[in-house]
Structure 1
Amino acid sequence: MYSDEIIDGVGGMSKFQALVIFVFNGPKLITSWGMLMMSFAGVTPQLWWCVNVINNDASNNTGLKQCSVGDNSTTCAFVYSTEKSTVVNEWDFVCDRAGIRLLITSVQMGGVLIGALFSGQSADVIGRKKTLFIALLLHGGLNLVAAFSVSWQMFIVLRFLIGAMVGSHLVVSFPYTMEFIGKGWRQITSAITFWQFGSALFAMSCWLRPDWSDQHIILAALHIPFLACWFVAPESLRWLAVHGKLEEAENVVDQMARYNKRKKPANTAILLKKLSEEEKKRRNSDHKYNYRDIYRHWDICWKSLVIQVIWMCMSFSYYGISFGVGNLAGNLYLNMFLVSIIALPGTTMVFFLSSRIGRRWTTFIFFSVATIGAFGVVIVSRVVSSESIRGPATTTMALICRFGVGSAWNSFQTTTSEQYPTVIRNLGYGAANTAARVGSIVSPYAFAMGGEDLLPPFVIVGSTMAVCTLLTVLLPETNKTPLADTTVEISRRDYTLDKDVEEVSEEKTVRKSSLEI
Structure 2
Amino acid sequence: MMFMVFGNYHPDWQCLGGFKQHQNSSLDNSTLANQTLDILVLDRWLNESSGLDFNDSYWNRSTPGSCDSIKMCQDIGFNEGSNTIVTEWDLICDLSWVQSIIIFIQMIGVLIGSYYGSLIGDKCGRRVNLYISVAFHTVFSLLAAFSVDWKMFACLRFFIGLTVGGMLSCCLVYPIEFVSKWWRGFLSTFPVWNFGAATFSLVVLLLKNWKHVHIATALFSLLVFLLGFWVPESMRWLALQGKVEKAKNIANMVAAMNHRPPPNTTALEIFAKEERKKLRAKGTQYEHVVDMLKKDKYFSLSLKMGLIWACMSLMYYTISFGMKFLAGNFYINFIIFSVAEIPGIIFVNPISRRLGPRLGSLVYFVLIFLPCVGLVITHFMASEDNKGNIIFYLALLAKMNILAAWKMMTNFSSLMYPSEVSCVSTDYLNTCARIGAIISPFLIPNITGSLYVMFLILAIYLLLCCLFLVSIPLKMKESSGDEEQQKSQLSVIVEETELEVRYSECDQDA
Contact 1:114 1:434 in 2 (8 A): no
Residues 135-150 of structure 1: pairs in structure 2 closer than 5 A: 135-150=133-148
Distance 1:197 1:330, change over 3 A: same
Q: How far, CA to CA, are the matches of 1:272 and 1:252 in structure 2?
A: 15
Q: How far, CA to CA, are the matches of 2:390 and 2:446 in structure 1?
A: 21
Asked whether 1:446 is paired with 2:443, we answer: yes
**For residues 106-149 of structure 1, what are the alpha-carbon distances to aligned partners after superposition, in whole Å with 9 as ceiling and x for unaligned?**
21122112212322333333332221221111112111110111
Contact 2:419 2:486 in 1 (8 A): no
**For residues 144-185 of structure 1, what are the alpha-carbon distances to aligned partners after superposition, in whole Å with 9 as ceiling and x for unaligned?**
110111111110100111112112212222333445566676
Tell me the SS of whatever aligns to 1:402: helix
Q: How far, CA to CA, are the matches of 2:339 and 2:449 in structure 1?
A: 24
Unaligned runs of 5+ in 2: 23-28, 40-63, 490-510
Residues 198-237 of structure 1: pairs in structure 2 closer than 5 A: 198-237=196-235
Contact 1:244 1:276 in 2 (8 A): no
Higher relative contact order (CA 8 A, sep 6+): 1
Q: CA deviation at 1:424?
A: 7.3
1:392 partner amino acid: N
1:346 partner amino acid: G
Contact 1:190 1:413 in 2 (8 A): no
Residues 86-235 of structure 1: pairs in structure 2 closer than 5 A: 86-179=84-177, 186-235=184-233
Q: How far, CA to CA, are the matches of 1:203 and 1:441 in structure 2?
A: 22
Residues 91-490 of structure 1: pairs in structure 2 closer than 5 A: 91-179=89-177, 186-255=184-253, 258=256, 261=260, 263-264=263-264, 266-283=266-283, 289-292=287-290, 294-295=292-293, 303-384=301-382, 386-416=383-413, 428-448=425-445, 451-472=448-469, 474=472
Distance 1:268 1:219, change over 3 A: closer
Q: How far, CA to CA, are the matches of 1:326 and 1:108 in structure 2?
A: 19
Tell me the SS of whatever aligns to 2:75: strand
Contact 2:239 2:269 in 1 (8 A): no
Distance 1:67 1:362, change over 3 A: closer
Contact 2:248 2:265 in 1 (8 A): no
Q: CA deviation at 1:193?
A: 1.6
Aligned to 1:508: none
Q: Which has the larger radius of gyration?
A: 2
Contact 1:143 1:162 in 2 (8 A): yes
**For residues 15-53 of structure 1, what are the alpha-carbon distances to aligned partners after superposition, in whole Å with 9 as ceiling and x for unaligned?**
xxxxxxxxxxxxxxxxxxxx1111111112223326534
Distance 1:268 1:411, change over 3 A: same
Distance 1:495 1:245, change over 3 A: closer
Q: How far, CA to CA, are the matches of 2:67 and 2:343 in structure 1?
A: 44
Tell me the SS of whatever aligns to 1:453: helix
**For residues 42-93 of structure 1, what are the alpha-carbon distances to aligned partners after superposition, in whole Å with 9 as ceiling and x for unaligned?**
11222332653469x987275351347599xx66422221121111121111
Give identity over the alignment, percent.
Answer: 29
Aligned to 2:66: 66
Residues 40-51 of structure 1: pairs in structure 2 closer than 5 A: 40-49=6-15, 51=18
Contact 1:138 1:165 in 2 (8 A): yes
Q: How far, CA to CA, are the matches of 1:354 and 1:245 in structure 2?
A: 38
1:275 partner amino acid: E
Q: How far, CA to CA, are the matches of 2:120 and 2:423 in structure 1?
A: 9
2:119 partner amino acid: Q
Unaligned runs of 5+ in 1: 1-34, 497-517
Tell me the SS of whatever aligns to 1:390: helix
TM-score, structure 1 normalization: 0.76
Which range moves more in the overlay, 95-104 or 396-405? Answer: 95-104
**How many residues end up aligned between the 2 structures?**
451
Q: How far, CA to CA, are the matches of 1:59 and 1:487 in structure 2?
A: 83
Q: How far, CA to CA, are the matches of 1:178 and 1:472 in structure 2?
A: 29
Distance 1:68 1:350, change over 3 A: closer
Distance 1:490 1:122, change over 3 A: farther
Q: CA deviation at 1:328?
A: 0.9
Q: CA deviation at 1:216?
A: 0.4
**For residues 447-489 of structure 1, what are the alpha-carbon distances to aligned partners after superposition, in whole Å with 9 as ceiling and x for unaligned?**
21664332211011112223333444537699xx9xx9x9969
Contact 1:312 1:439 in 2 (8 A): yes
Contact 2:286 2:421 in 1 (8 A): no
Contact 1:254 1:264 in 2 (8 A): no
Aligned to 1:52: 19
Root-mean-square deviation (CA), in Å?
3.7
